Amino acid sequence: MFRRYGGNTPRTSTSRPRVIPSDDSVYPTYSYGRRRARVWDRDRVFWGPNDIRLYCDSDEDENEEECISEVVAPLLETKLHVTHVDLHVPDNTAAHHTDLYECTGDRVSDGTEHKARLVLRRGQEFKMTLHFDRPYDIPKNDITLTFHLEGSYKAARTTSATIKVDESGYTSFDKKTWGASVVRQEDKSLTLSVFAPAYIPVGEWDFSVTTIVDVEDGEDLIWEYKHNEQIYIIFNPWCKDDWVYLEHEDWMKEALLSDSGVLYFGSPSRVGARPWCFGQFDDGILDAALHLIRKGFGYEASSAMGDAAKVARILAKLVNAPDDDGVVMGNWTGEYEGGTSPSTWVGSVKILREYMSTAKPVKFGQCWVFAGVLTTVCRALGMPCRNITNFSSAHNTDADHLSIDRINVKDENGEWTDISNDSVWNFHVWNEVWMSRPDLSDTNHYDGWQVIDATPQETSYDGVFTCGPCPVKAIKEGDINVGSDGAFIFCEVNADTVEWTKDEKTGMLVETKRIPNSIGLCMSTHIPNGRSFRGETMGSLNCVRDRLERLDVTDEYKYREGSTRERTVVRKAEMMFRRAAAYRSGFESNRKKAAMETISVELEQEEDIFVGNGFEFVVTVRNSGNAARTVKQLVVKVYYKTYFDIYTGIAGVRRFEAFPVDGGDAVSYRIVVNEERAAKRPQDGFYFEIKALAELSDASTVVTSTMDFRLRRPDMEIEGPASCRRSETIELQVTFTNPLKVALTNCQVDIEGGFKFVKPSMDKFLIPNIGPGQKWRETLTVVPKPRPKDKDERALTIGLHCKQLADISGHYTVNIDKGYF
C-alpha cells in the first residue's frame, strides 16, 4: 500500500524520521512541498493533492486513486504547519544590547529595501513566536528547533544543535547546552524562550522548526519549516560565562558601545589626537567582520569560531593584506598612486565597505589605520577593544638581545654612522581586547586586556603577519613565553637603548651608554567616558589630561622605570629570550663596556612650533668631572625622517671644532632651521630627528644624544549647533586656513560619522587649491543617523589631505535632544 511519510515510529523514540528537502526548495519551505522522504522498498512514486509525494511498495495496489484518497485525507486534516516566525527583533535586540546595529531596523541601501535582522549575543535567552495554521495541541504535538552555523550541517556539539522544546513552561536552562521552552500559548501561536550557550561560535546561524503530529496508534507525521533569514550570534560581554565578559561599565561603554573615538599620534613631547569614526554599528560592518572570520577559518564551520583568543588572532591577521589578501594593504613608501594616502582616512567604514565590494585589499594603510579597522571589527563582533598608542616604540631586529642597539662606526669619509637595523618609531598604534584566558592558566592571572596588532611589522611564530593575543599582565611581569609574540611586544615597550662605538684600533664594539627609560613612553588610550572625542587635538606630556582626553596606561605594561622591580623584570625577560633564541655566547666576545664617561650631550627645543615656521634648539656639552676635557669635534645634524624611523634627508648640519669644556662647566650652541627648510618635506609629516655627536680628543669613543621633534599642524574648524532633534536637518560650517607660503594643491576632503548628507556624494570630494594664507570654507547640510533613543550624541570626523600638507582633521559632536523628532 501507499506510505505517507512517518511510518510506525513510536512517539517515545529518540530517532524520528527526517524530511530531506529537494534541491529546488524555496525558503521558507515545508515538508509537503515536493519533499523527498526516505522510504524503504519503494517501486513506484505518485503525486497526490498539494504535491504530496507518495510511495508505493509494490504492485499490489491497483486502485491508485483510492489509495491516494485514503492517505491524503487524514494527512490534510492533521497537518501542523508553521506559517511564519516572529523573531521579536526590537525586544530581543534591546535585551541583548544590539539595537544600535543599523541592520536591526528596516532600511534602504543603494535603492534596495532591507528588512530588520536579528542580532543576538550568546549566553543569553531570546524569544520567538511560532505561528501555525491551526491551534497547537500540546498532548498530541511536539516541536524541535534545529540551529546550524552557516556552512555546517553535520551533527556537532558547537556548530549545530537540535532542541526539543520543553512544553512545561520551565525556563531555567542548563548554561552548558541549548534549550527552548514554551512561555506563552495563544490561539494559533506559541511563544518560546530559547537559550544559546556562551561557548558557541559567533556567526550567522540558520534555523528550522520541525512540528511533529501524533495521528494514530503512536504514528508520527513530521513537517519542517525553514526560516528564510539567518540569525547573527556574537560575543556577549554582559554574560559571565563568556570569555569576553567585562564587568566595568565605563569600559563597556568606551570599548564596545562607542562608535567614534580618537587615535593618538606624534611624539612624547608633542602628542596629537586623531579623531576616528569606528562605525561598528553601521550597515554592512557586522557582515564584513563575520566574513573575515569565515575567511580566516577557510570558509568551514569550526568550533574555534567561538574561541575569543583564536578569533582575535585571526582578525589581526586578516586586517592586513600580505598573507591572505586581507582588508588593508600597507604602504610606507610615501608614494600612494593608485590608492588613498593613509593620512586621508578618518574612519573604518569606507575601508570595510570597499573591501567587501571589491574583494581586494584597500590601498593604503599604516599602523593607525590597521588599528582603527581592527577596533571596528572587534567591537562589531562583541569583543571589547581599545586602541593603544606607544610613543618611542621599539622595533627590534636582533635575534640575540631584547635591546635597541645604536652602533656608531666611521665610514669611508670619516663620518660617524649608525649601522644598526633596529629602529624606534615615534609612535605605534596597536589594539587590546578584553577577555579571560583559561587557555593560558587555570587561574585568572592572565585575564584582562590582551595585545593584538594588525600592522605587518614582523612575521609571528607561524610565519604569518599577525601579533598576539598576549596578556598585558604577562608583558609587565616579563613572562614573554606566555601568549603569542610576547618577546616582540615586550621589546616595543621596555627595551633598553644601548649605544655602541666601534674602536678603530681593536675593532671591538664598546658600550658607551645604556638608556633604560627611552622606550615605551606616554602609552595612551582614550579615557573611558563613553562618549565621542571632544578634546583638543594637540598637547604635550605636561598638559592637563582632559585637554586630550588621554589616559596613560604605561604602568599597566611595566613597573616604574629604573625601579628594582622593573630592572628585575627586564633581566628575567632577557634571559628567557636568550634561551628561546639559542643564545650564542660568541656575541659578547667582541663587545665590552667603556669606562664611565664624564662628558654628556643635551638637547633642548622649543614647544608647539606650527607648520609654516622655522624652529631652533640648543645643544649643550656638559662636563660632570673635575678635569677639563677637549671636544675634538661636535657634529649636529637635523634629519628629515618618518615617524617609523626612516631618514629621508638632512635639513641642516653644524660642526663645531676643537673646544674645551672645564670641569663642572658646560658649553652651549643655538641651532636654527629656517622656515623654507622646515617645510621642504611635508610627505614625512614634518617629523625631524636632531642628533648631536661629540668626538673627544682623549678617548676612542663618541658621546651622542638624539631628540625627535615634530611641527604642529593647524586644525580644521567645524561650527554647528550644540544640540538638535533626532531627525533635524542642520548646517555645519567648515573652515581651514593655509599656514604655508605656498598654495595647497590636490586637496581632498573625506568625511565619516553619524550623519547622513542631504546632498549626495558629500562624504568625499575634491576642493580647489587654497592659496598662501587663504581660508577654505564649506557648508555641510546633514541629518543625524537614526539610532535608539538612548544614543544621545552623534559625531563627525573630517580629514583634509593636500600635496603640501597632509593629516589635517577636524571633529564635531552634537547632543541629541531626547523625546523630540
SS3 category, 424: strand
b/e burial code for range 637-674 (CB count within 10 A of at least 16 → b): bbbbbbbbbbeeeebbeeebeeeebeeeeebeeebebe
- 468-504 in b/e burial notation, b at 16+ Cβ within 10 A? bbbbbbbbbbbbbebbbbbbbbbbbbbbbbbbbbbbe
**730 SS3 class:** strand
Active site residue 56: no
Rounded-to-integer distance, Cα 776 and Cα 457, Å: 38
Verify whether residue 453 is a known catalytic residue: yes
Q: Which of 343, 472, 372 is nearest to 430 (CA)?
A: 372
Q: Using DSSP bridges, classify how beta strands 723-724 and 808-816 pair: parallel, antiparallel or unpaired.
A: parallel
> How far apart are the C-alpha atoms of 433 and 436, rounded to whole Å?
10
| Phi, psi dihedrals of residue 314, rounded to the nearest 5° | -60, -45
- Residue pointed to by grid coordinates 591577521: 317
Q: Which residues contact 252 (CB under 8 A, 6 or more apart)?
A: 237, 238, 246, 384
* DSSP result, 181-228: EEEEEETTEEEEEEEE-TTSPPEEEEEEEEEEEEEETTEEEEEEEE-S
Which positions ≥6 away from 251 have C-beta within 8 Å? 384, 386, 434, 528
CA 32 vs. chain centroid, Å, equals 47
Q: Which of the 8 DSSP states describes residue 542?
A: T
Residue 367 designated active-site: yes
- The residues pairing with 53 across neighbouring beta strands, listed in sequence order, are 47
State the catalytic residue, choosing from 67, 103, 277, 367.
367
- Residues 6+ positions from 456 with CB-CB distance below 8 Å: 320, 321, 322, 330, 370, 465
**Count of H helices and E strands in the chain?**
13, 49
- Answer yes or no: are the C-beta atoms of 811 and 795 closer than 8 Å: yes
Contact indicator for 295, 318 with CB cutoff of 8 Å: yes
DSSP per residue, 132-161 = ESS---TTTEEEEEEEEETT--S--TTTEE
814 Cβ contact partners less than 8 Å away, ≥ 6 residues apart: 720, 721, 722, 723, 724, 730, 784, 793, 794
CA distance 522 to 155: 51
Catalytic residue among 99, 142, 283, 453: 453
Catalytic residue among 428, 526, 801, 811: 428
Residues annotated as part of the active site = 367, 428, 453
